[in-house]
Amino acid sequence: MVSGVRIGIIGKVPPIEGGVSRSTFWEALATAEIGYATTVVTNASEVEQEYRSSHLGQMPTNPLLSIHSTVTPAAALRHIPRSNPFVSKLVGLALTQFERSRPEFIHAHYLEPYGVAAMVVSKLLEIPYGVRHAGSDVGRLYNRAPELRGVYERVFADASYIIASARVKRALIHLGIDPDAFLNSPPDCLNDNYFRPSGQTLDFSARRAGLDPGSIHARLNADSRFDESAPTLGVYGKVGEFKGSFDLVEGLRRMRSARYNLVVLSSGPPVALEQMHARATELGVAGNITWIPFIPHWEIPQFIRGCTAVAFLERNFPIAIHRPGIMREVMACGRPLVVSQEVAAKAPVEGEPYLVVDPTQPEELAAALDTALEPSGDAAQRAEAALVHYAASAPSWVEYREILQTHWDLRLEAVRERKQKVSAIAVQKLVARLSVSEPFREWFKVAPAEAMRGYDLSDDETEVLRKINRRMLDHFAASLMSKWRQSAEHQLPRAHGFLEDDFSKLFSEYYGLHAPDPSRSRVDYILAFARFLEDSFSIPNADDRTLRAMNICKLDRCLLEVKTRVSSLDSLLRINAKTGGLSPDSKVARDPRMMIESFDYPVTSLIDPASFDGAQLDSGMKVAFRPADSLNRSPCVEISGAVGRLLGYASESPRTIAEIAELYARDNGGSVDAEQVAKACQMCVDQALMVVIE
Question: Given this model, what pLDDT does residue 110 score?
Answer: 96
Contact between residue 354 and residue 282 where contact means Cβ atoms under 8 Å apart: no
Q: Which of 440-449, 504-513, 516-525, 608-617 has the lowest mean pLDDT?
A: 608-617
Q: Is 574 a residue whose pLDDT tops 90?
A: no
545 against 86, higher pLDDT = 86
Stretch 462-491: mean pLDDT: 71
Q: Is 4 a residue whose pLDDT tops 80?
A: yes
Question: Given this model, what pLDDT does residue 97 score?
Answer: 98
DSSP 165: -
pLDDT category, 133, cuts 50, 70, 90? very high
Collapse the DSSP code of 39 into the 3-class scheme (helix H, G, I; strand E, B; otherwise coil) and give the result: strand
Half-sphere exposure of 116 (CA within 13 A, CB side): 16
Question: Given this model, what pLDDT does residue 610 score?
Answer: 54
Q: Which residues in 215-334 belong to E strands, given as ranges? A: 232-236, 261-265, 289-292, 309-312
CA–CA separation, 245 vs 222, rounded Å? 20
Half-sphere exposure of 151 (CA within 13 A, CB side): 17
Identity of the highest mean pLDDT range in 1-15, 84-98, 431-445, 504-518: 84-98
Question: Given this model, what pLDDT does residue 576 score?
Answer: 80
Contact between residue 568 and residue 174 where contact means Cβ atoms under 8 Å apart: yes
pLDDT category, 424, cuts 50, 70, 90? very low
Stretch 398-419: mean pLDDT: 91
Environment class of 685 (CB within 10 Å of its CB; exposed 0-12, middle 13-18, buried 19+): middle
pLDDT category, 196, cuts 50, 70, 90? very high
Pure H helices in 46-176: 86-101, 116-125, 136, 142-144, 146-158, 166-174
Please give the helix or strand (H or E) that residue 546 lies within, else none.
helix 544-564
Q: Is 470 a residue whose pLDDT tops 60?
A: no
Stretch 80-90: mean pLDDT: 95
pLDDT category, 422, cuts 50, 70, 90? very low
517-540 pLDDT, tens per residue? 766 788 999 999 999 999 999 988
Look up residue 452 and give its amino acid: M
Q: Which of 19-33, 268-282, 588-602 has the lowest mean pLDDT?
A: 588-602
288-347 pLDDT, tens per residue? 999 999 999 999 999 999 999 999 999 988 777 677 889 999 999 999 999 999 999 888
pLDDT category, 363, cuts 50, 70, 90? very high
Contact between residue 6 and residue 39 where contact means Cβ atoms under 8 Å apart: yes
Q: Is 643 a residue whose pLDDT tops 80?
A: yes
Contact between residue 172 and residue 162 where contact means Cβ atoms under 8 Å apart: yes
pLDDT category, 581, cuts 50, 70, 90? confident
Identity of the highest mean pLDDT range in 91-100, 481-490, 661-670: 91-100
Question: Given this model, what pLDDT does residue 204 score?
Answer: 97
Which pairs count as long-range contacts for 252-255, CB under 8 Å and 24+ apart, including other chains?
252/280, 252/283, 252/285, 252/288, 252/366, 252/369, 253/283, 253/284, 253/285, 253/362, 253/366, 254/362, 254/363, 254/365, 254/366, 255/366, 255/369, 255/370
Q: Which of 276-280, 573-577, 607-611 has the lowest mean pLDDT?
A: 607-611
Collapse the DSSP code of 454 into the 3-class scheme (helix H, G, I; strand E, B; otherwise coil) and give the result: coil
Contact between residue 330 and residue 347 where contact means Cβ atoms under 8 Å apart: no
Strands 6-10 and 595-599: unpaired
Please give the helix or strand (H or E) that residue 29 lies within, else none.
helix 19-33
pLDDT category, 483, cuts 50, 70, 90? confident
pLDDT category, 670, cuts 50, 70, 90? confident
Q: Which residues in 190-299 belong to E strands, given as ranges? A: 232-236, 261-265, 289-292
Largest Cα separation within the chain, whole Å, is 93
CA–CA separation, 494 vs 555, rounded Å? 8
Question: Given this model, what pLDDT does residue 66 score?
Answer: 98
The backbone torsions φ and ψ at residue 39, rounded to the nearest 5 degrees and listed phi first, read -110, 120
Question: Given this model, what pLDDT does residue 567 score?
Answer: 86
pLDDT category, 423, cuts 50, 70, 90? very low
Q: Which of 236-250, 261-275, 293-307, 423-437 has the lowest mean pLDDT?
A: 423-437
200-244 pLDDT, tens per residue? 999 999 999 999 999 999 999 999 999 999 999 999 999 999 999
433-466 pLDDT, tens per residue? 665 566 666 666 767 777 666 666 566 656 655 6
Task: Give bridge partners of residue 590 from the DSSP assignment.
Answer: 690
* Cis peptide bond N-terminal to 15, omega within 30: yes
CA–CA separation, 435 vs 440, rounded Å? 9
Please report, in angstroms and rounded to a whole number, the separation of the first and last CA atoms in the chain. 57
Q: Is 618 a residue whose pLDDT tops 70?
A: no
Environment class of 329 (CB within 10 Å of its CB; exposed 0-12, middle 13-18, buried 19+): buried
CA–CA separation, 246 vs 188, rounded Å? 30
CA–CA separation, 588 vs 568, rounded Å? 15
Average pLDDT, the chain: 88
Identity of the highest mean pLDDT range in 419-433, 506-520, 585-599, 619-633: 585-599
- Domains of the chain are 6-183 (3.40.50.2000), 204-393 (3.40.50.2000), 423-558 (no CATH), 565-693 (3.90.930.50)
Contact between residue 367 and residue 311 where contact means Cβ atoms under 8 Å apart: no
CA–CA separation, 357 vs 368, rounded Å? 7
Q: Is 425 a residue whose pLDDT tops 50?
A: no
* Cis peptide bond N-terminal to 113, omega within 30: yes
